[in-house]
A and B are shown apart, each in its own frame.
Chain A
């Protein structure tokens, strides 16, 4: 780790401009963004574009937590019908824009998601889910077993039917974070955990870090799992571990896959569609993503217990069994790496995005569970819009943090 024990000279102390922007609806001069995962990075990027001087305070290093240990499906396919599906649609559209505009051109891979049913129960679930996708305006085409065999030749005959969800994509979290942070022009303070807030008259005036107090006009808490501590939301934000696998490059098989595979069971594991029985405490939802490099990313588990950073052979074997079951050719490819990450989930299944109740200049954006790569840029953009007095392009009322917070910010 690279430690910097002195605060840079640009340390923010511009209290006088504070009132100005709230009255005029113009952007603040300075902002502190806490956490440089994808949400913090995107917020910094969109604030930077609006001329705000951003200080990104990061406990360790950019993409050190969930955003650096994620799969990276930028996808509507798996979302629960309702606000989350709508949000995901906007999230995917934004990635497409950013790719077209050049910022993410080489990092965003457009592809279809094929949701595959391998049992009668999954077929029924899938049909229901397809209807929801159609209702939301998504191009979701049902493929019979025969049609599937033709469109997706490396798929095993175990696949009974499928739904091809068009125009989705994939992005590697740490690559997106790196690109956004670089483009934001923000000053990145590594190894700078925020310990508590300095409150003054209905505002969060500053933050306390081991390197000193820092102040700014606006504050954004995008600290992923670390937000629980900062906001006293331990009972609201829950960690959910996931184990993921990366293979060596296998270009031929990779090219033969016209998109990503998601098992029908994934919908159950994620709770996107209610199945029979309760969610198991260690769910397995299979996703196989052919990456730009010719490698495959194969996931993953959802675990509510156990060590967060480790991989166990039981999970790895079960993920791979499921993968080989659908794509037998993977048996001849080698596993290169296993890793694990932690999703931060909110108990009601919706993220927390919005202004902190009773604090005029502080905002929170966290709790994206398994959707933060998809929703990160969109969230950063809407938060920046709110901070700068613009009308957010997406209605955030369902995600309002007020649903869990009384007027008090604790830290």
Chain B
């Protein structure tokens, strides 16, 4: 069977940059992407191949640069292919959805660049149709260049809400409002002079804010969305501001977003010793969620690291590391600006019936009951007996909320980690049994 040097998982900026670096050094490279196109979360392309008008000029330029570089090397592209994990025998498991079977691939190194998932806090009613993540809305509008119909409310925490709002405005459907738990204007003005050393960020923010201001979109700062209900075929959102004043607003769509976290559930552990087992390096948001610029730099770093590990040639990753450090600093400033204000902990104030885990239908009350005993039960017991992080999403959406709520409910015991709850097993995504029965080393696949 022909072993390749490097297999890169994920076609976002991190994966693209990693593939480019590895191939430029003469290594054979495969790039695996579940979608039919490259770009990842930030440079997501229109489904028909064109570039969406919602992409900023800078984003277009950066993506064009990566695409051109990638076109100049000979990486083997595997689209509509889902990475399932690394098995005990060192096989990289790829579900090729075009032919409906699992391909087993040998590779000396694996660079995992599966990006981020959004952090979504539990709220009563967030399981209803019409409620999606704000990023989910963005995926649709980038792929289709159509705005979702009806009144859209964006709610949660963080700069992505502003980006999506600006994009909705550009496509002609300004949101009914943006609900933001923090108060970034005030925080930035008060303490964040550091942001001045990141002019690109400020410029981006200024563009969004200008569009939002012009469209007259209300921006409710220091406010939380605490409940969603179905009312007459629409969605009624309950908003609670920093003075605990409550109001409701009737909309058709709600986009939730409470931050970004690494999409690393079940991924193989990093492994930088060369030997019989493949080298495993993580890159981009799945290693540390720091945004697009850092992801690209981190992809380069990972690519160069793989080159030096596989070929013994010393590579210089210091430039990439400096770029990442700078973005880390910028993200820290952003996080500080968007720090939720007042109102106590969102998690602690949730009513018992709130779904914590949608997949298995487990509630905040279920967790409270599980912990209602003197001895501090372990992560695994919380998972098994609470059925948290056991469902179809494998904990991608509930594990961090469960871990945080456990810490709140049990302040003197050590805090569980999301990884401790989810474990590290393949498949990292549910996969067709039929496709698994057709698993075969790649060379036998062309029958």
Contact = CB atoms under 8 A, between A and B. Distances in A.
A–B contact at 8 Å CB threshold (below) = yes
Interface of A: 1-4, 60-64, 68, 174-175, 178, 182, 187-188, 190, 247-248, 306-307, 310-314, 316-317, 320-321, 323-324, 330-339
Nearest to B438: A317
24 contacts: A2-B377, A4-B376, A174-B381, A175-B384, A178-B381, A178-B385, A188-B375, A190-B375, A190-B378, A248-B392, A311-B88, A311-B425, A311-B426, A312-B88, A313-B93, A313-B104, A313-B436, A320-B433, A320-B436, A331-B432, A334-B431, A335-B431, A335-B432, A336-B427
B57 interface: no
B380 A324 contact: no
A62 B385 CA distance: 11
Interface in B341-396: 373, 375-381, 384-385, 390, 392, 394
Contacts of A4: 376
A4 B427 CA distance: 35
B414 interface: yes
B425 A324 contact: no
Contact of A61 (B87, B380, B392): B380
Contact of A2 (B376, B392, B431, B432): B376
A335 B439 contact: no
A4 B426 CA distance: 32
A333 B433 contact: yes
Contacts of A61: 377-378, 380-381
B394 to A, nearest CB: 8
Given A314-B89, A331-B437, A339 B381 contact: no
B431 A313 contact: no
A313 B89 contact: yes
Contacts of B373: 182
A310 B426 CA distance: 9
Given A61-B381, A174-B385, A337-B425, 14 more contacts: A2-B376, A2-B414, A64-B380, A187-B375, A310-B87, A312-B88, A313-B89, A316-B439, A317-B102, A324-B434, A334-B430, A335-B432, A335-B436, A337-B427
A297 B173 CA distance: 48
B185 interface: no
B220 interface: no
B91 interface: yes
A187 to B, nearest CB: 8
Interface in B94-131: 102, 104
Contacts of B201: none
B413 interface: yes
Among B88, B394, B431, max chain A CB count under 10 A is at: B88
Contacts of B390: 337
Interface in B423-447: 425-427, 430-434, 436-437, 439
Given A2-B413, A178-B381, A334 B433 contact: yes
Contacts of A307: 88
B395 to A, nearest CB: 11
Contacts of B434: 324, 331-332
Interface in B396-419: 413-414
A174 B63 CA distance: 49
A324 B433 contact: yes
Given A317-B436, A324-B433, A331-B432, A338 B380 contact: no
Contacts of B433: 247, 320, 323-324, 330-335
Interface string B75-93: 0000000000001110101
Contacts of B104: 313
A333 B430 CA distance: 9
A287 to B, nearest CB: 15
A312 B89 contact: yes
A324 B102 contact: no
Contacts of B430: 248, 334-336
Closest 10 interchain pairs by CB?
A310-B88, A331-B434, A61-B378, A2-B376, A334-B430, A312-B88, A174-B384, A313-B87, A178-B385, A2-B413
Nearest to B88: A310
A314 B394 CA distance: 23
B426 A338 contact: yes
A306 B384 contact: no
A175 B427 CA distance: 24
A174 B380 CA distance: 10
A333 B392 CA distance: 12
Contacts of B414: 1-3
A41 to B, nearest CB: 12
B41 to A, nearest CB: 25
A61 B385 CA distance: 13
Contacts of A313: 87, 89, 91, 93, 102, 104, 436, 439
A411 to B, nearest CB: 25
Nearest to A3: B414
B102 to A, nearest CB: 7
Given A310-B88, A313-B93, A332 B432 contact: yes
A277 to B, nearest CB: 25
Contacts of B426: 311, 338
Contacts of B87: 310-313, 316
A320 B438 CA distance: 10
Contacts of A174: 381, 384-385
A310 B269 CA distance: 13
Nearest to A56: B375
A338 B427 contact: yes
B209 to A, nearest CB: 44
A329 to B, nearest CB: 10
B363 to A, nearest CB: 16
Given A248-B392, A311-B87, A321 B437 contact: yes
Contacts of A333: 432-433
Contacts of A337: 390, 394, 425, 427
Nearest to A322: B437
Contacts of A178: 381, 384-385
A62 B376 CA distance: 12
A4 to B, nearest CB: 8
A259 B88 CA distance: 32
Contacts of B93: 313
A324 B384 contact: no
A139 to B, nearest CB: 32
A78 B433 CA distance: 26
B380 A68 contact: yes
B30 to A, nearest CB: 18
B392 A338 contact: no
A60 B102 CA distance: 36
A335 B436 CA distance: 9
A116 B438 CA distance: 24
Contacts of A306: 88
Nearest to A182: B373
Contacts of B431: 334-335
Contacts of B102: 313, 317
A320 B432 CA distance: 11
